[in-house]
Amino acid sequence: MFHKILIANRGEIACRVAATAKRMGIQTVAVYSDADAHSKHVQVCDQAVHVGGSAPKDSYLQWERILQAAIDTGAQAVHPGYGFLSENEEFAKACAAKGLVFIGPPASAIQAMGLKAESKQRMQQAGVPLVPGYHGADQNPQLLQREADAMGYPVLIKASAGGGGKGMRIVEKSTDFTDALASCQREAINSFGNDAVLVEKYVQRPRHIEIQVFADTQGNCVYLFERDCSVQRRHQKVLEEAPAPGMTAALRKQMGEAAVAAAKAVNYVGAGTVEFIVEQAAYDKPESMKFYFMEMNTRLQVEHPVTEAITGLDLVEWQLRVASGEALPLQQDQLRMHGHAIEARICAENPDNNFLPATGVLQVYRKPACSSFEVAKHGSVSGAVRIDDGVREGDSISPFYDSMVAKLIVHGETREQALAYLDAALAQTRIVGLTTNVQFLRHVLKTESFKTAKLDTALITREEKHLFAQEPLGLPLTVAAVVAHTLHQDSALQGHDPFSRRDGWRAYGVATRRFDVVFHDQAHTAVLTYGVDDGLYLEVGDVSAPLVWRVDGDGLKIEYAHHHANVQVFMQHVGADGVAHVFAAQGASQITMVDTLAHAGAVQEVGGRLTAPMPGKVVSFAVKAGDKVKAGQALAVMEAMKMEHTMTAPVDGEVVELLYATGDQVNEGAELLKLKV
């Protein structure tokens, strides 16, 4: 076994690998960029080496520097994690050339499976079912269009060298093909350095089911069952679970054996995932499911913890043992599943704004209580909650890397129990400082489709009316929570003399207090009256009722207008105003507390402005000075967090001036062009 390894990655996967290595008595070396100098993964490793600038191309993709760091620190092996260099055959070859063990498959296997077109040809030879499509080397746009037209729409364009939903577009009609192809190729060249694509028939009512495989150098290969990853946005996974709901034993065996055949066809070694697209005639007819090979990820997957949960195994430990020359710890007939596990990806993004990525500081980052996954001797499973992350409270989420903040994994005896655990754990998650998808994830869990396992990759679109622009608390309860929090803060500040008391006491009559707030872009005024029947009376809009509150642990228990809630409130200062973030079991909300005096005399800006919603790079402009535009018309494309985002006109108007050029880096809030309304 190795005594020291270098982890050629960052964030939660670097922390995850380091945790297993530490348990096994293996020392770890971290690498870090300028942006990650004080990150969590640097702190949890035994040593750390700086490898370059903040952008991945200047640091985490600089494999010569990484290999030199491994040599200089005496590491014997390199764990690539996922992303970055994990599926780069040249990096795997370079490790071997330097006498370092690459903790992953042979370079030949990475190469064979790295190009989607070539891998599909190999799978066809191995007898693995394929989706109809064009996988050829000729990338002439006219040819690709003809192939798409011939197979019929909708079709799916995919980057041949890629993964993670990048360089992928669904095209509904022929007239949209050219623009979609160009966008895919831009993303592909930026993410993978290769703009080749393949075109496939888009499977209707598709499920995304993948098989975890593991192989050793002795010729053994097993499958560790399946994961369902059908719930996706922008072709990227949101929720993953194991086992796949509705999976029959016969289909599991058939898919598992096909995955093993795929791995053996390329002489695979280590952890890998064979991804299948599964067509279903109906949600309640599992016997109707047909599966087709989609791609093989020649690395550990983001969602590997759900497989660990149902098997009771540590897949990183398996990777280390296999890479050091050991045989697989277990054979196929020794593998068992226990219970049900679900993983939720907590991301810095705004689901209500097309999942636009967010950046900022984790001013508050409180996690639910976690416990270990344990499988009892009799085979039953104890309920458990696990968090895999690479950040701490006070850390920044930058525009240079992926938007994922953490992975929340739960495990229960049944799927229903796991769902309940996950919702409760999400309800206990507190993040302030940037927008996240935590509440969106809770909405997904509560949809009829997800609860009843009517799964396919269109679930989010199908259930959108239940997922977006939801307000779980409402104005009255949100205001009541913030007013109670304000009173609690006042009581903590008041002195012992009667003149510093802030409880509204008067020798006679009553006292009132006004709160000006903005809730979902609408201004409201709330009035708190002291001394009514020796209590508090709060008026919010057309709701007037007594307000009762008391401290309860690290939060408050409030009663207002027939609502009872345990809440936590965190204040974030934005300019002169305060933004109150309210968390409760029912959900979370936020409201702006307006400082009226600070805004006195302020002039409201009018006119049309197109501003960058996040830091990033200008990819292209679709207009020029003098063009007339309509509200909602595409004006520019930006790239941030490895994805492209289209900016649209906020109002009708005329373009006066483009303020940046293609390729320019811009800050959040920067005005991209001037519009005359």
H or E element in which residue 317 lies: helix 315-323
Cα separation, 274 vs 83, whole angstroms = 16
Contact 210, 301 (CB under 8 A): yes
Evaluate the CA torsion angle 236, 242, 244, 250 in order and state its sign.
positive
DSSP string, 72-135: HHT-SEEE--SSTTTT-HHHHHHHHHTT-EESSS-HHHHHHHHSHHHHHHHHHHHT--B-SEE-
Active-site residue (options: 233, 299, 345, 442): 299
Pick the CATH number of 4-103 from 1.10.3720.10, 3.40.50.1000, 3.40.640.10, 3.40.50.20: 3.40.50.20
107-114 vs 89-97: helix crossing angle, rounded to 10: 170
pTM of the model: 0.83
pLDDT < 50: residue spans in the chain? 374-382, 499-500, 601-606
Locate tokens 């042979």: which residue?
A: 106
Q: What is the 3-state secondary structure (H, E, C) of 464-511?
A: HHHHCCCCCCCHHHHHHHHHHHHHHHHHHHCCCCHHHCCCCCCCCCCE
Catalytic site includes residue 345:
no
Strand order from edge to edge, sheet including 665-666:
643-648, 634-640, 616-621, 665-666
Pull the structure tokens for residue 118. 């070539």
What pLDDT, on the 0 to 100 scale, is given for residue 190? Answer: 82
Rg (CA), the chain: 27
Quick one: pLDDT at residue 508?
A: 55
Q: How many CA atoms lie within 13 A of 577 on its CB side?
A: 15
The predicted pLDDT at position 320 comes to 98
Question: Which numeric CATH code is attached to 132-201?
Answer: 3.30.1490.20
| 1: Cα within 13 Å, side-chain hemisphere | 12
Q: Each residue of 307-366: pLDDT tens digit? A: 999 999 999 999 999 999 999 999 999 999 999 999 999 999 999 988 988 989 999 999
pLDDT at 34: 97
Domain boundaries, the chain: 4-103, 132-201, 206-260+281-467, 475-593, 608-676
CA-CA distance, 150 to 173, in Å (whole number)?
A: 12
Please state which CATH class domain 608-676 belongs to: mainly beta
Q: Is residue 76 left, alpha or beta, with left meaning phi > 0 and alpha meaning psi from -120 to 50?
A: alpha
Q: Which CATH code, of 3.30.1380, 1.20.120, 3.30.700, 3.30.1490, is assigned to 475-593?
A: 3.30.700
CB 123 within 8 A of CB 262: yes
Looking at residue 494, its pLDDT comes to 58
Give the pLDDT score at 166: 79
**Candidates 1.10.8.60, 3.30.470.20, 3.40.190.10, 3.40.1160.10; CATH matching 206-260+281-467:** 3.30.470.20
- Give per-residue pLDDT as tens, 91-126: 999 999 999 999 999 999 999 998 767 788 888 888
